[in-house]
Structure 1
Amino acid sequence: MALLHNRVSQKELKQRLLQETEPRTTISFYQYFPIEDPQVFRDLLYKELHALKVYGRIYVAHEGINAQISVPSSNYEAFKSYLYTIGPLNDLRLNIAVDDDGKSFWVLKIKVRDKIVADGISDPSFSMEVKGKYVNAAQFNELTNDPETVVIDMRNHYEYEVGHFESAIEVPSDTFREQLPMAADMMKDAKDKNIIMYCTGGIRCEKASAYMLHQGFKNVYHLEGGIIHYANEVKKQGLSNKFRGKNFVFDNRLGERITEEIIAKCHQCGQPADTHVNCANDGCHLLFIQCDNCVKQYEGCCSKECQDVIHLPIEEQEILRKGIDKGRNVFNKSRKRLRPRLNEKE
């Protein structure tokens, strides 16, 4: 019987990826559709994709599938052919990464979840069958030429910070489940306006559009394929690009450049920068923006305290990571935990 999960260490798998010579293609896709038995579906999917040397992160739930993967370029057509044999996924749009080095993932993980996007919605009358209208890149540009059109970014603060559409409204929250009621409340006086919602690849804004309609909004749209598909389409069609900066992505790249404009700042010195890193202290791993100068000065750490930690003997670092006297070195990606910024001068 084929193994249905990985048993090789992450370190070894990452090293194997770095030694690969064949190019890989990074792809994201999702689909809301009913899955009767997510575990059975997950196991079948794992066997097929593992055989095609697919790496990545896939979530399966009763409401559908959400995937970010990489596949050897020589297996791309075989992967697509297999995917399209699954009825609800036939001819599904596949978002090809904009700025891809092929090193986005090094292991295949397929997990069964309660939902493919955690939304906090408990109302049984809510349905994904009633959702906003798709707009493609050209339609998005046309609608946003009207100053009365409202554009809402349905991503987290650290995604919005490095790149977003012109005049897009940020919903200042840490999680998607918090954003949904906040977005509805922020727009309560704009129920008759055209509202366009967008996200990275389309999965969050599609659900958000359904939620807004459920809350009584009338003219709700969502950007087809999200930022990734938009960036590919404006380039292919020679359209005006209304996105500024970098698109944050949830893989080893942590971002793909859409325009050369840098709209964010280093969290340590305040100079223009939009490169996300995780703190080099394994007991911290704060996600933050760091410029090249601060990388050298702090050795990839978010603070002097974490920098001191990485120079301790490994045994002492392991003790700290077990929860003994960690103090302020435990961080997360929360907006609240990033304020005030790390060492930024006012």
Structure 2
Amino acid sequence: MQLYNTLSAKERETLIEEAGQERLTISFYKYAHIGNPVIFRNHLFIHWNELDVLGRIYVANEGINAQLSVPALNFENFKEHLDSIYFLENVRLNIAIEQNNKSFLKLKVKVRRKIVADGLNDNTFDVTNKGIHVGAEQFNELIEDPDTILVDMRNHYESEIGHFKNAITPDVDTFRDSLDLIENDLANHKEDKKLVMYCTGGIRCEKASAYYKHKGFKQVYQLEGGIIDYARQVENKKLENKFKGKNFVFDHRRGERISDDVVAHCHQCGDPCDTHVNCANKACHLLFIQCEDCAEKMDDCCSLDCKEIHALPYEEQKKLRKGKEVSNKIFKKGRSAVLKYKK
């Protein structure tokens, strides 16, 4: 019984190109009690592998968090399988605004302690006592209210390339870092202001809204479906789009454009730019913002040192990396001192 990938990303990319079929990039989450996450993980892998589903899915005792790509021709079968799972029946699916057939190149279903690393002890508060969910139209009205405080629950590298007008964008590396920071900054407004939150697809706000209600905030709201569903509602209902720039996404696209505004700058030259890349030196792999001119000048690297290493023959690069642990904290490394114009 196959419970793991047998193809490399390159091999999968070739198969996708040869198939020439449209794929849909989808995300969803659901908090639910899962008694045995390992068995559930294997169940998902077996069924989704047969449907040629690719993506990154986290499963825990508290639920599921999924970002994936499914062939459009298999979408109905995929949806039928979701509906056969009692707590996923009619779950809201966030379908990407910008599609890319190569958004994911492997199927990774992983068992985690939590589906979002929030660092919270869920036994200390009622996680089901969440904030009020609002759609795009009500959200637009709320954020124009002078009694509203709008907070971006995402990390610095996400909000840097796009955010809502007048939003507080905490300069943090992780979701957990933002929770106490926001509470402390807004401690004097727990009763007199409306706390309105948003994130990529809604999952971080689910936990954060319950946490802030537990901490004494009286009026807590969250954007239903996050930025992804907001953009879709704005388009379908012809609403005013109050989001500026790109929405950072956790797949090979790295971002999807919500408005024509470019609110960020190239980290190397300072020119307007909102394109995230990873340093071409595999021993670095730094996530940063780089314009086309700098990409050409720097050979897709973040620094002159990385450029020199990247220019070496592949076997020499492998020797340099041998025995060295490559940091997995790509986003934290985005604050590297080599980037002159970093946020």
* Distance of 2:29 and 2:327 partners within structure 1: 33
Q: 311, 315, 338: which one pairs with 2:335?
A: 338
| 1:31 aligned counterpart, secondary structure | strand
CA contact (8 A) 1:162 1:262 kept: yes
Identity %: 53
- Say yes or no: does 1:267 pair with 2:264: no
- Structure 1 residues 331, 64: closer, same or farther in 2, change over 3 A? closer
In the other structure, the counterpart of 1:164 is 163
Deviation per residue, 1:65-107 (Å, 9 max, x gap):
0000111001111111110111111111100001112220111
| 1:124 aligned counterpart, secondary structure | helix
In the other structure, the counterpart of 2:207 is 207
Aligned length: 342
Deviation per residue, 1:229-257 (Å, 9 max, x gap):
00000110000101000000000000000
User: 1:339: Cα distance to partner?
Assistant: 5.4
* Distance of 1:101 and 1:336 partners within structure 2: 27
In the other structure, the counterpart of 1:178 is 177
In the other structure, the counterpart of 1:283 is 283
TM normalised by structure 1 equals: 0.94
User: 1:343: Cα distance to partner?
Assistant: 3.6
User: 1:332: Cα distance to partner?
Assistant: 4.5
TM normalised by structure 2 equals: 0.95
Which structure 2 segments of 5+ residues have no match?
none
User: 1:19: Cα distance to partner?
Assistant: 3.0
| 1:222 aligned counterpart, secondary structure | strand
The ranges of structure 1 where at least 4 consecutive aligned residues each deviate by more than 6 angstroms after the TM superposition are: none
CA contact (8 A) 2:285 2:330 kept: no
* Distance of 1:184 and 1:176 partners within structure 2: 13
* Distance of 1:48 and 1:137 partners within structure 2: 34
Give the residue type in structure 1 aligned to 2:296: K
Counterparts of residues 1-346 of structure 1 (less than 5 Å)? 2-122=1-121, 124-192=123-191, 193-323=193-323, 332-335=329-332, 338=335, 340=337, 342-344=339-341
| 1:216 aligned counterpart, secondary structure | coil
- Structure 1 residues 333, 157: closer, same or farther in 2, change over 3 A? farther
Give the residue type in structure 2 aligned to 1:44: H
* Distance of 2:210 and 2:327 partners within structure 1: 36
* Distance of 1:345 and 1:7 partners within structure 2: 39
Give the residue type in structure 1 aligned to 2:194: N
* Distance of 2:220 and 2:4 partners within structure 1: 40
Which one is further off, 142-151 or 272-281? 142-151
Which structure 1 segments of 5+ residues have no match?
none
* Distance of 1:339 and 1:322 partners within structure 2: 23
Which one is further off, 9-18 or 136-145? 9-18
Give the residue type in structure 1 aligned to 2:164: F
User: 1:344: Cα distance to partner?
Assistant: 3.7
CA contact (8 A) 1:199 1:227 kept: yes
User: 1:226: Cα distance to partner?
Assistant: 0.3
CA contact (8 A) 1:154 1:176 kept: yes
* Distance of 1:88 and 1:337 partners within structure 2: 38
* Distance of 2:336 and 2:50 partners within structure 1: 45
CA contact (8 A) 1:303 1:343 kept: no
| 2:281 aligned counterpart, secondary structure | coil
Give the residue type in structure 2 aligned to 1:151: L
CA contact (8 A) 1:32 1:128 kept: no
CA contact (8 A) 2:245 2:261 kept: yes
